[in-house]
Amino acid sequence: MTRLSVVGTGIRPGGHLTTEVRNLIAGADRVLAVVDGLNLVYLCRINPATESLQDCYRQAAGREASYAEMVRRILAALDQGGHVCAAFYGHPGVFVWPAHEVIRQARSRGLAARMYPGISAEDCLFADLGLDPAQHGCQSYEAMDFYLYPRRIDPTAALVLWQMAALGDIHRNRFEADGAWVQALAEVLMADYPADHVTTVYEAATYPLDEPRMEAVALSDLHEARFSQASTLVVPPLVAPALSNERLARLGVRASDLGAAAYRRLRGS
């Protein structure tokens, strides 16, 4: 039976590979991988029929063309039949357009196609920074998208801005942040947060002996920060949310009814 499995290899080579994904890779007829060198070596040990798609970046001009070439090659492998496994770094559904697109196209051809999750940078961020979205809430945007399309910021919840290195990359063909755009982003944020509000430039640890990068940077100094392709900006809550007595009254509930210890722990109060 011809089918496509799109899987995530996690952030750390080998260590983040789930049992489910490992079994899918091992049992596939072909594995096409968009991962770094060490991850590729590890995948080849699991299944020798593994080939890299990293050369798509060299063959195509620009990121969009590279992604289209990845989709084309995965579909070409599917045309030959059997179980094809497409493996992507991290979580295959998070900031990975080719993974979603190849599933759409495979299904449009009447083929079985399914995505299997992997450990993402967000998972690492929650663990390393101790950020629990259940406590304060969490707003999550791609940095360029956040700047171009104004959002209503909630300063009572954490704000996470991904792919900071792509900020200002209007032609989608380079991988470093534009300082002028970073400064402009900081000015947008300073409409809701004070200039001395301390943010965190975060990068997940890639290898077992590495430490995550968790660099404190005030908004006023954000333009001086160094951003790599792995950098994420985390803006912590500024104030605590105010309880809505009006909403409680609709249901006949009093604020004192919410004083259970479990609820207080959830809110961090």
CA atoms within 13 A on the CB side of 104: 7
Cα distance between residue 201 and residue 215, in whole Å: 5
- 10 Å CB burial of residue 213 (0-12, 13-18, 19+) is middle
Q: Is 45 a catalytic residue?
A: no
Say which residue the tokens 């900071």 belong to. 164
Q: Pick the catalytic residue: 12, 42, 67, 147?
A: 67
CA atoms within 13 A on the CB side of 157: 12
Q: Pick the catalytic residue: 30, 42, 73, 89?
A: 89
Cα distance between residue 69 and residue 65, in whole Å: 6
Q: Is 263 a catalytic residue?
A: no
Tell me, what DSSP letter sits at residue 242? P
Q: Is 109 a catalytic residue?
A: no
* Residue 227 Cα to chain centre, angstroms: 16
Q: Pick the catalytic residue: 3, 63, 172, 174?
A: 63
- Cβ atoms within 10 Å, residue 167: 25
**Where in the sequence numbering do the catalytic residues fall?**
63, 67, 89
